[in-house]
Amino acid sequence: MTNHILIVDDNDAFREVLSDFFESYEFKVTQASHAIEALEVLENHSFDAIIVDVLMPKMNGLDFAKRILSSAKPTPIAIISGYTDQSNFEEIIKSPYLIGFFPKPFNELKLISEIQSKIQSYKELSI
């Protein structure tokens, strides 16, 4: 079964490159250019994992992640950013659904490995 991920990043070129990378590993990918758009997509679709950038207009990635991780049915989420100060992450680091924090530039193979691992363990817990 194909894993379906949502990539949320306001940088169109970066989002496309990341999408292409995940699609090359046979992931189904949906994109959103900001957190508000992602929340709208989540109203009608579910995902195996979400990748979100921290610095975005309208709603930052941390507020988005807090909302997703505290929802009735949280989705595993990976946080990516060129912003390296993790002191603002304390509240969400404790969530078992947090895949991790990946500072840009990150190792794509490590990111995909961590996401695949978290999706697998989440699916096993959900059975």
Q: Strands, E, within the chain: which ranges?
A: 4-8, 28-32, 49-53, 77-81, 98-103
Q: What is the pLDDT of residue 19?
A: 96
In angstroms, the CA 111 to CA 44 distance is: 26
Contact 92, 70 (CB under 8 A): no
At residue 47, the 3 state secondary structure works out as coil
Among the listed residues 95, 5, 80, 96, the one whose alpha carbon sits nearest the alpha carbon of residue 48: 5
Among the listed residues 65, 68, 54, the one whose alpha carbon sits nearest the alpha carbon of residue 102: 54
Q: Which residue has the tokens 């900001």?
A: 34
Residues 20-29 have pLDDT tens digits of 999 999 999 9
Looking at the predicted structure, is the pLDDT value of residue 127 above 60?
no
pTM of the full predicted structure?
0.90
DSSP conformational letter for 78: E
Q: What is the pLDDT of residue 85?
A: 59
Map out the domains of the chain with their CATH numbers: 4-126 (3.40.50.2300)
Q: Which helix (H) or strand (E) element contains residue 101? A: strand 98-103
Q: Looking at residues 4-32, what average pLDDT do you find?
A: 96
Residues 30-89 have pLDDT tens digits of 999 999 999 999 999 999 999 999 888 889 988 999 999 888 888 999 999 876 556 666
